[in-house]
């Protein structure tokens, strides 16, 4: 009877199956700490990248490449105005030299206007490329947040839990060894025939970290 009680109290140190009796017994039920943590991690809400990030990225990419429509329209207007001016020269002068000078002036004005429009378009293009870079960066940051929340954090939670449980079990085993050695010394010196029961196992030993 005393031997069975010792096994129930001290587990494998009193001759029972390893980690199957006493306060070192492993709890694998659905209410164990590990099961509860696994359930919480598995059912945690998932971080989804909002659709607006993809839409903004697509719009920025489409706008960043190709001609600017407003610049194209202005170029078309310049070409049309130059053609109209050239067609009206003959109505004001029949002198060939004067006509050539007028044509050169019209062409020069047209080319200057087109160059200015080209410079404006280059500046607009740089702004659009900057917007595309911003949209790409925002999307990359959101994907990184999603990976960290959905993949990395659950892994770290489980890993930290396992490390803490292993540490707690090792500490518990050494407590049991120390307690067993103390009982052995008491029996050897006092000639006791029974293994004394700890007065307050719940107070002397911390069971809270070994539910799983």
Single pTM value for the model: 0.51
Interatomic CA distance for residues 188 and 195, integer angstroms: 11
Close Cβ partners of 21 (under 8 Å, ≥ 6 residues apart) = 7, 8, 11, 12, 14
What is the structure's pLDDT at 32? 73
Tokens of 192: 């006791």
Q: Name the more confident of 108 and 35.
A: 108
Burial of 179 (0-12, 13-18, 19+ CB in 10 A): middle
Q: Name the more confident of 52 and 12.
A: 52
pLDDT digits (tens, 9 = 90+) for 83-139: 888 888 766 666 777 788 888 899 999 999 999 999 999 999 999 999 999 999 999
1 band by pLDDT with thresholds 50, 70 and 90: very low
Neighbours of 172 (CB within 10 A): 19
Domain ranges of the chain: 2-210
What is the mean pLDDT of the segment spanning 163-171? 85
């Amino acid at each position: 009877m005393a031997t069975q009680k010792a096994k129930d109290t001290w587990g494998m140190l009193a001759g029972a199956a390893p980690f199957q009796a006493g306060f070192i017994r492993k709890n694998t039920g659905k209410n164990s700490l590990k099961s509860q943590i696994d359930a919480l991690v598995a059912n945690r809400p998932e971080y989804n990248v909002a659709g607006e990030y993809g839409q903004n990225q697509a719009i920025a990419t489409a706008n960043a490449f190709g001609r600017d429509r407003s610049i194209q329209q202005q170029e078309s207007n310049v070409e049309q105005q130059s053609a109209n001016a050239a067609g009206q020269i003959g109505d004001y002068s029949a002198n060939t030299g004067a006509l050539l000078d007028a044509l050169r002036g019209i062409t020069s004005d047209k080319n200057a206007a087109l160059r200015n429009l080209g410079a404006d378009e280059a500046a607009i293009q740089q702004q659009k490329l900057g917007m595309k870079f911003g949209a790409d960066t925002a999307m990359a940051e959101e994907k990184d947040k999603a990976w960290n929340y959905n993949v990395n954090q659950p892994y770290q939670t489980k890993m930290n839990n396992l490390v803490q449980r292993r540490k707690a079990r090792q500490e518990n085993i050494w407590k049991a060894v120390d307690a067993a050695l103390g009982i052995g010394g008491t029996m050897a010196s006092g000639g006791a025939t029974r293994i004394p029961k700890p007065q307050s196992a719940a107070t002397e030993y911390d069971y809270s970290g070994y539910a799983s």
